Structure 1
Amino acid sequence: MTAHAAGGPITPARRARPGRLLKRAAVSLLIALVMLPPLFPLYWMLISSLKGPEELATTPPTWFPGDITFGAFSEVFSVVPFGRAFLNSALIAGVSTLSVLVTSVMAGYVFAKYRFRGRDVIFWAVVATMFLPPIVTLVPLYWLVSTMGLADSYAGVMLPWLANAFGIFLMRQFIADVPDELIEAARVDGAGEMRILWKVITPLLRPALVSLALFAFVFYWNNFLWPLSILQDDGKYPVVLALSQLLSYSTSVRYQNVVMAGALIASVPTILVFLLAQRAFVQSVSRTGVKG
């Protein structure tokens, strides 16, 4: 029996199959190698939080905990008011992110679809603020918030971040692609400007809004310098400031697993937000890449 009779004719597709498999394996290996550096700190936090103090002190360090223990996770909440700090961060990041979405859509709509004197000058002046280092605006912002009587308050922490230049720029770019005919048709039907904005335009911006919400939430969750400057009451500290309190225990091997457990808990919300938003984020990037 010939090879043709046993397995059928050897077509070009069958000859190319091993090459395709090899190419896929090479691509998978390359992706794995690229993913290892950013994922390694997360892995190290996880295994260190599951180790006991004795195992953390061993040299060389072990790559997997021999005796898994979860005591460090409960100890985090007894060493510092971590639960309260977690809620503080959720409040600050949540309200700030929601405000950025609303103000960015409204300002982006005005800059994209309205014609008025000085529009471009104002828009590029707003964009220019993106290039100011945060340390430059720290003292003026602190003076402004303090003179308003909002120092050491949740409102004082959130006030400077209720609008965002990057968000306005991003929404303006996306809204500019919405056909003017669609807006005019809504006006002919009797829709007001706010109804057009929230009922007609905003549903078309879903990938961009999700991407902006992702960036804003991660930034406000991890924001350290401004809360440190404006807050004095540790009961109002966000989670990043609570982590800085935990770092005072890191000099002792006994508490290194507690520090790692706190860092891991603080990372969970941003990881979950990214996992939930990744599909819309990829759609936003893909849409941006095919413009023009």
Structure 2
Amino acid sequence: MSESTSASLPIPAEAEARNAAANAENERLRRNARIRRHVGLFFSYAALAIITFLMIFPLLVVVLVSFTPKDITETWPPKLIPGTFTLANYASLFHRLPIGREMVNAAVFACAVTVFSVFFDSLAAYGLSRIDFKGRTVLLDILIATMMIPAMALLIPVYKLLASMGLVNSYWGIIIPRMADVGGIFLLRQFFVSIPKDLDAAARIDGAGELRIFFQIILPNSVPALLTITMFNLMGNWNDLLWPLIMTSRPETRTITVGLAMLTGHGSSVTPYGVVMAGALISALPLVIVFFFIQKRFVEGIAMTGMK
């Protein structure tokens, strides 16, 4: 007994040593994992900060230049942060352009196109996604194929058509060609497909028609996608320069983007950068305000579109 007892005494000591070594190794692995995680987070946040700065930097330049005196903006090398600030650029902007009228024109153009486009796009998307009819797939393929036609190739034919109708220099002349958009139809169609068709069947059992299903079932369940299309249309048409520039030649119908483009013309050898930046900042403020209120649903719509 004494020999066996003496032989078994070292066993707990060896086990305790092995446990201590294992605990030490586990602690070392946990410590290394924490270090790797912290290093990864550091580089992730650093990359995010750099990308955010690069995205915000142009806006910061616009704000700073809009408050920079003219003699400083014309110097070389340019100064990012001027020693003095002024409101003269904004005063010159309102003196040179009917900025209020141009903002109203841009708002009428962008908002009208957005309302019509969202309505007609959603109707077309509903028919292509929820109603079974012969040739539906072929029609969808044709619509998608039209997206490959360059928009520049259609400018002259569309302009001649609208000119023959007497719609040049009018709101309807710049609104009518934008009342529907194939990209919006396709995006909404992909979203409508993800809505269960059992809702349609239940509504039809209760006696609902297609319009009632469209307005009371499909649209309420598609708010994120509708807001996404709304934001795309609003931004695209508010910032559009080429189409309003072609269709409007009078100050009474010009939009803000066309007015800002005119500032660099008139035979001037020096571009008034401060005035242009002031106008660009004023032009961007409405979109920033709109996006601030709908950003959550906008991102949600981008993430959910096409999911099934």
Q: Do the two structures share a fold, i.e. TM-score over 0.5?
A: yes
Q: Work out whether 1:240 is the aligned partner of 2:233.
A: no
- Give me the whole-angstrom Cα distance separating, in 1, the residues matched to 2:162 and 2:30: 69
Give the drift of 1:160: 0.2
One-letter code aligned to 1:91:
V
Equivalent in 42, 51, 73 of residue 59 of structure 2: 42
Residue equivalent to 1:97: 114
Q: Is the 8 A contact 2:191 2:304 kept in 1?
A: no
- Give me the whole-angstrom Cα distance separating, in 2, the residues matched to 1:215 and 1:13: 47
Residue equivalent to 1:137: 154
TM superposition score normalised by structure 2: 0.84
Give the drift of 1:12: 7.2
- Give me the whole-angstrom Cα distance separating, in 1, the residues matched to 2:105 and 2:111: 10
- Give me the whole-angstrom Cα distance separating, in 2, the residues matched to 1:39 and 1:125: 40
1:149-205 deviation digits (Å, cap 9, x = unpaired): 212110011000001101111111111121111011112222222121111111111
Give the drift of 1:14: 7.0
1:231-257 deviation digits (Å, cap 9, x = unpaired): 22121101110011112387437x321
Residue equivalent to 2:270: 252
Task: Sort the Cα spacing of 1:190 and 1:13 in 2 relative to 1 into closer, same or farther, 3 A.
Answer: farther
- Give me the whole-angstrom Cα distance separating, in 2, the residues matched to 1:13 and 1:94: 57
Give the drift of 1:220: 0.6
- Give me the whole-angstrom Cα distance separating, in 2, the residues matched to 1:184 and 1:136: 44
Moved more, 98-107 or 71-80: 71-80
Task: Sort the Cα spacing of 1:267 and 1:251 in 2 relative to 1 into closer, same or farther, 3 A.
Answer: farther
Gaps of 5+ in 2: 1-26
One-letter code aligned to 2:270:
S
Residue equivalent to 1:51: 68
SS, match of residue 136 in structure 1 = helix
Residue equivalent to 1:156: 173
SS, match of residue 234 in structure 1 = coil
Give the drift of 1:57: 3.2
Q: Is the 8 A contact 1:97 1:217 kept in 2?
A: yes
Residue equivalent to 2:240: 223
Task: Sort the Cα spacing of 1:11 and 1:281 in 2 relative to 1 into closer, same or farther, 3 A.
Answer: farther
Larger Rg: 2
- Give me the whole-angstrom Cα distance separating, in 1, the residues matched to 2:36 and 2:104: 53
Moved over 6 A (4+): 10-15
Moved more, 11-20 or 160-169: 11-20
Identity %: 34
Residue equivalent to 1:64: 81
Q: Is the 8 A contact 2:227 2:294 kept in 1?
A: yes
Give the drift of 1:273: 3.0
Give the drift of 1:94: 0.5
Give the aligned length: 282
- Give me the whole-angstrom Cα distance separating, in 2, the residues matched to 1:286 and 1:12: 37
Task: Sort the Cα spacing of 1:210 and 1:50 in 2 relative to 1 into closer, same or farther, 3 A.
Answer: same
Residue equivalent to 2:19: none
Q: Work out whether 1:196 is the aligned partner of 2:213.
A: yes
Q: Is the 8 A contact 1:80 1:245 kept in 2?
A: no
Q: Work out whether 1:175 is the aligned partner of 2:192.
A: yes
- Give me the whole-angstrom Cα distance separating, in 1, the residues matched to 2:227 and 2:132: 28
Give the drift of 1:263: 1.6
SS, match of residue 263 in structure 2 = helix
Q: Is the 8 A contact 2:190 2:305 kept in 1?
A: no
1:8-27 deviation digits (Å, cap 9, x = unpaired): xx797677545433322211
1:250-290 deviation digits (Å, cap 9, x = unpaired): 7437x32111111221222233333333212221232247x
SS, match of residue 107 in structure 1 = helix
- Give me the whole-angstrom Cα distance separating, in 1, the residues matched to 2:122 and 2:242: 27
Residue equivalent to 2:284: 267
One-letter code aligned to 1:196:
I
SS, match of residue 180 in structure 2 = coil
Over the aligned positions, Cα root-mean-square deviation in angstroms equals 2.2
- Give me the whole-angstrom Cα distance separating, in 1, the residues matched to 2:243 and 2:159: 9
